[in-house]
Amino acid sequence: MSSNTPIHVLVTDQDFDLAAEYASARADSENPGAIVMFTGLVREVLGEAASAEQTLTLEHYPGMTQKALLDIAEQAASRWPLQCIRVVHRVGTMEPGEQIVLVLSSSAHRHAAFESAEFIMDYLKTSAPFWKKQVRGNESYWVDSRESDYRALERWQQKSGSAR
């Protein structure tokens, strides 16, 4: 599973600059016709305690995280004709509205760029060693994994080998 697609993966406790990431993706791509940029944001949890101060803390497995993200990006690069992939994932404590994850994917045509960005996000949710802890006022809890995230993965496994 190797490709010549430039892949850039970063795990960081710092915020990222969308314009700079986009410019890098563009510079890394040879002759792009489509660039898809997905940004995940920390959402405010609504409910009875909504007025309490909220934070989201991302824990990860330092040795494994980078490897897992790289593996996911390489799977995407072997499945679609991509010109570059960039993945940035934050760790540490964030507040609602902050950027948490970025996926950039470029290709000659839009379908490959759209699909590969979605594929990377779907795999990242369930296969990269990150864990979310939600804090609201005095209470905190670990966010549960979602059945729907696993169903999203199955979709790609069924499509395997198609969709160019």
Check binding of 87 to other proteins (CB under 8 A).
no
Choose one: 2-10, 104-112, 131-139, 153-161; the region binding other proteins (CB under 8 A): 131-139
- In the complex, what is the shortest distance from the CB of residue 28 to other proteins, in angstroms, rounded to a whole number? 23
Q: What DSSP string describes 97-164? A: T-EEEEEEEEESSHHHHHHHHHHHHHHHHHHS-EEEEEEETTEEEEPPP-HHHHHHHHHHHHTTT---
User: Which residues in the 89-118 window bind other proteins by CB under 8 A?
Assistant: 89, 100-101
Cβ proximity to other proteins, 61 vs 95, nearer residue: 61
Residue 56, strand partner residues: 94, 134
Check binding of 127 to other proteins (CB under 8 A).
yes
Choose one: 29-37, 55-63, 111-119, 154-162; the region binding other proteins (CB under 8 A): 55-63
> Which one, of 9, 10, 8, 13, lies nearest residue 91 by Cα?
13
Q: How far is CA 48 from CA 41, 102, 144, 157, in A?
A: 22, 30, 19, 39
Cβ proximity to other proteins, 35 vs 68, nearer residue: 68
Residue ranges in contact with other proteins by CB under 8 A: 40, 58-61, 63-64, 67, 89, 100-101, 121, 124-133, 142-145
